[in-house]
Each structure stands twice: as structure tokens, then as C-alpha cells.
């Protein structure tokens, strides 16, 4: 695959009264756009989220990495990350912002979530089932979406669960059992909550690439400008 000539842009996206820090990596010939959303990400360009997003970009996707909470919110009240309704409203604001960008509107969209943003993503995609083509929950709290949204979800979902995070395994498995959508479960043995073990983050991100390639619609790109090669 020919490497994309991506442009990396630090941006801020308004979500009601908050401004969310984000990093957009885009080129006109991307296969689609993957939203990588976590409750809080400091120093976006130097984050592990951006490292993982680089694997998605190598697979031909544009990425939008978003910290769903502001630095002030994260420092003031750590429990705000469990406000699934708030995170859902902000995810809706992200989708609205994408619709308003001429170069992004209409792109196949995938959603890669971490932590409690997984629950917000499930609830949002129940409301807008045609908006996003595939969902990945990476060490996500899908269980916080609630039983009914889990049953109603129709978007294909991949759940990646760290085997060493015992507090996450049981509720995630219960949530998985309620899902009726196309689904896949992957418990990564000997992996911690942050997937810091050598090679683990790379492996699960490549698995996410495969999930998006399988379920996102193929984008028909316009032919290159200029005369064909001789």
C-alpha cells in the first residue's frame, strides 16, 4: 500500500460549553476515518493513543484522536469519566463536527473507544445506527451502557479485554452476552489494563484494523488527476 501523505493538525472541537483537544490526521485518499476516543488523553501527539493510531494510519485510515474530558475536568473530578450521558453528548458533538467539515463528511467512519467512552459509544450508535460502520471497545466499560442499549446495538463490535484486569473481565463478559449485533470477543491473556506489555498494543491495534476493514464500506476514490502513466 502506498504511504498516505497525511497532514497532522492539532484542533479543538466544541461540545456544548467544553472545548475538546483533538489531533486530526488526514489525507484525501484515506480509506475512512477512525475516531479514537478516550476519557482523557494528555499530550496527544506523545500519547500511546497516537502511537496506536499510527498503526491505523499505516493501514490507510485517517484518524481523529479525541480527549473527551478537558484537563480541568480530569483534575477536578476523576468520577466525571463515569458520566456516560455527558460522554455521549460529546460524542454526538464530534459526529456533528465531522458532518460540517467538507473534506470529512461522507467518509466511512469507525469508532475505537477506551474505558467508559465505550458505553457512551454504544448508546450513541443505538440512536444513530447508520452513522458508524464498526466499533472497537479497547479495555472498555461496555457494561455501563445498560442492558437495553447493549441488546439494541446493531453496529458490529469487537471487544478487547485485558486478561489481567479481573475487575473488567466479568462485567465485560456479561455485557458481551447481551449483545445481538455481529460481535467478537478477544481476551488478551497476561495483558494489563493499559496494554503496556511488549507487542500487545500493536497486536490489538492490527486486530482493530482488520475489524474496520471487514465492516466499513469500501470507499470509491476518484481517479488521479493528470494523464495516465505512459
DSSP symbols for 70-128:
-HHHHHH-GGGGG-HHHHHHHHHHHHHHHHT-TTTTT--EEEEEEETHHHHHHHHHHHS
Question: Do the beta carbons of residue 150 and residue 122 sit within 8 Å?
Answer: yes
Residue 102 in domain = yes
Res. 228: pLDDT tops 70: no
pLDDT score at 166: 84
- Burial pattern 184-195, b for ≥16 Cβ within 10 A else e, equals eeeebeebeeeb
3 state SS of 196: coil
**How sure is the predictor about 222, in pLDDT bands with cuts at 50, 70 and 90?**
low
pLDDT one-digit tens code per residue, 28-47: 999 999 999 999 998 999 99
For residue 1, the model assigns a pLDDT of 57
- 53 in a domain, yes or no? yes
The better pLDDT of the pair 3, 90 is held by 90
The helices-and-strands tally (H runs, E runs) of the chain is 7, 8
Q: Give per-residue pLDDT as tens, 132-149.
A: 999 999 999 999 999 999
Q: What is the pLDDT of residue 7?
A: 93
Do the domain assignments include residue 220? no
Separation of alpha carbons 214 and 133, rounded Å:
10
Give burial (CB, 10 Å; 0-12/13-18/19+) of 102.
exposed
Can you give the residue range of the structural domain that contains 76? 7-215
pLDDT tens string 182-207: 999 999 998 998 899 999 999 999 99
Among 166, 163, 109, residue whose Cα is nearest residue 136: 109
pLDDT at residue 227, rounded to an integer:
40
Would the pLDDT of 85 be above 80? yes
**Does some domain include residue 52?**
yes
Measure the CA angle with vertex 105, ends 104 and 107; round to 5°. 70
Model confidence at 2, pLDDT cuts 50, 70, 90, reads low
How many structural domains does the chain have?
A: 1
CATH number, position 34: 3.40.50.1820
Instruction: Tell me what pLDDT residue 162 has.
Output: 94
Please list the alpha-helical segments (H only) found in the chain: 48-58, 71-76, 84-99, 117-127, 147-152, 166-178, 200-215
Note whether residue 227 is domain-resident.
Answer: no
Q: What's the confidence (pLDDT) of residue 22?
A: 97
pTM of the predicted model as reported, rounded to 2 decimal places:
0.93
Residue 1 resides in a domain: no
Q: Which residues pair with 109 in a beta bridge?
A: 33
Distance separating alpha carbons of residues 125 and 40, to the nearest angstrom = 21
| Band (130; pLDDT cuts 50, 70, 90) | very high
| Distance between CA atoms of residues 85 and 110, nearest Å | 21
Amino acid at each position: 500500500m502506498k504511504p498516505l501523505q497525511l497532514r497532522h493538525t492539532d484542533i479543538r472541537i466544541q461540545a456544548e460549553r467544553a472545548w475538546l483537544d483533538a489531533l486530526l490526521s488526514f489525507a484525501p485518499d484515506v480509506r475512512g476515518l477512525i475516531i479514537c476516543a478516550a476519557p482523557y488523553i494528555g499530550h496527544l501527539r506523545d500519547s500511546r493513543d497516537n502511537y496506536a493510531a499510527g498503526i491505523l494510519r499505516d493501514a490507510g485510515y485517517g484518524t481523529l484522536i479525541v480527549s473527551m474530558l478537558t484537563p480541568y475536568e480530569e483534575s477536578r473530578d476523576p468520577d466525571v469519566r463515569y458520566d456516560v450521558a455527558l460522554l455521549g453528548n460529546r460524542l454526538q458533538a464530534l459526529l456533528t463536527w465531522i458532518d460540517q467539515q467538507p473534506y470529512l463528511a461522507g467518509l466511512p467512519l469507525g469508532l475505537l473507544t477506551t474505558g467508559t467512552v465505550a458505553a457512551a459509544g454504544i448508546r450513541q450508535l443505538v440512536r444513530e445506527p447508520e452513522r458508524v460502520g464498526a466499533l472497537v471497545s479497547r479495555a472498555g466499560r461496555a457494561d455501563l451502557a445498560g442492558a437495553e442499549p447493549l441488546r439494541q446495538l446493531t453496529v458490529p463490535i469487537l471487544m478487547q479485554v485485558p486478561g489481567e484486569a479481573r475487575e473488567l473481565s466479568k462485567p465485560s463478559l456479561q455485557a458481551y452476552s447481551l449483545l445481538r449485533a455481529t460481535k467478537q470477543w478477544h481476551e488478551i491473556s497476561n495483558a494489563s489494563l493499559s496494554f503496556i506489555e511488549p507487542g500487545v498494543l500493536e497486536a490489538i491495534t492490527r486486530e482493530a484494523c482488520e475489524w474496520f476493514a471487514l465492516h466499513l464500506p469500501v470507499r470509491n476514490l476518484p481517479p488521479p488527476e493528470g494523464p495516465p502513466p505512459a
